[in-house]
Amino acid sequence: MQSIKLNGVAAAVAGLLATVVVALDTAAACEKHDKAAHAQTKMTRVADAGTTHNHAQSHAGLSVEKAWTRATPPGAKVAGGFVTITNSGKEPDKLVGASFALSKSVEVHEMTMTDGVMRMNEVEGGLAIAPGTSVELKPGSYHLMFMDLTGTPKESEPVKGTLRFEKAGEIAIEFAVAPIGAKSIDGAGGNTPAGHGHGGHEMKHQH
């Protein structure tokens, strides 16, 4: 659902497409996000991110793969980070923190959509990874929030970071950087060629 593949038509017209903004309800959205957070939600349709890579890391029954983020527009203060965590061990573990080379701090967030309004909250007490399960942090769901960016993630320039688990400790990872607004590591854009206004988002053209 999150990865909307673009077709050849989209590829052909990608250069012409306008930037769209997902209008979040400012008041209701995560209070820690200032205006710049909205810049981060700009979605530019893109047709190709063939240069992103998957890096897998394994540690104490936990494996971490598909770590990625996206390029941010100039001036963005926050960015989202995504990763798939699999617990193949017998003990539950918890994602309790993270670091990102281009931000001062990282929070683990949860995103929910209620009546068309997207809300973000910090996950209290860490994100549980039950034994035998895989948890995908992805757009529109759990995600890492890179707070107070100190640099600009650029497409195809991986950024180092770490994930910190209650039991497994710290795992070093590298976030692939997808294009601005990508909805998946595969680089699919945020919108289908035909469609505006799906999924309860309010789409606006940017001025």
Contacts for 84-87 with beta carbons within 8 Å, 24 or more apart? 84/134, 84/135, 84/136, 84/137, 85/129, 85/134, 85/135, 85/136, 85/137, 85/163, 86/62, 86/129, 86/133, 86/134, 86/135, 87/61, 87/62, 87/129, 87/130, 87/131, 87/132, 87/133, 87/134
| Contact assessment for residue 147 and residue 40, using Cβ atoms and an 8 Å cutoff | no
User: Is there binding between residue 45 and Cu ion (CB under 5 A)?
Assistant: no
- Show the site string, 136-175: x = touches Cu ion by CB under 5 A, - = not: ---------x------------------------------
User: Is there binding between residue 66 and Cu ion (CB under 5 A)?
Assistant: no
- Range 110-120 burial, b when 16+ CB lie within 10 A, else e: bbeeeeeebeb
User: Is there binding between residue 120 and Cu ion (CB under 5 A)?
Assistant: yes
Q: In this complex, which beta carbon is closest to Cu ion, that of residue 102 or of residue 145?
A: 145
Q: In this complex, which beta carbon is closest to Cu ion, that of residue 49 or of residue 145?
A: 145
- Structure tokens, 4: 């909307």
Of positions 45, 66, 94, 109, contacts Cu ion by CB under 5 A: 109
Shortest Cβ distance from residue 29 to Cu ion (Å)?
9
Q: In this complex, which beta carbon is closest to Cu ion, that of residue 100 or of residue 168?
A: 100
Shortest Cβ distance from residue 122 to Cu ion (Å)?
8
Q: In this complex, which beta carbon is closest to Cu ion, that of residue 83 or of residue 120?
A: 120
* Segment interacting with Cu ion (CB under 5 A) among 66-74, 91-99, 119-127, 128-136: 119-127
Q: In this complex, which beta carbon is closest to Cu ion, that of residue 27 or of residue 194?
A: 27
Shortest Cβ distance from residue 120 to Cu ion (Å)?
4
Q: In this complex, which beta carbon is closest to Cu ion, that of residue 120 or of residue 127?
A: 120
User: Is there binding between residue 201 and Cu ion (CB under 5 A)?
Assistant: no
Shortest Cβ distance from residue 69 to Cu ion (Å)?
12
Interface ranges with Cu ion (CB under 5 A): 109, 120, 145
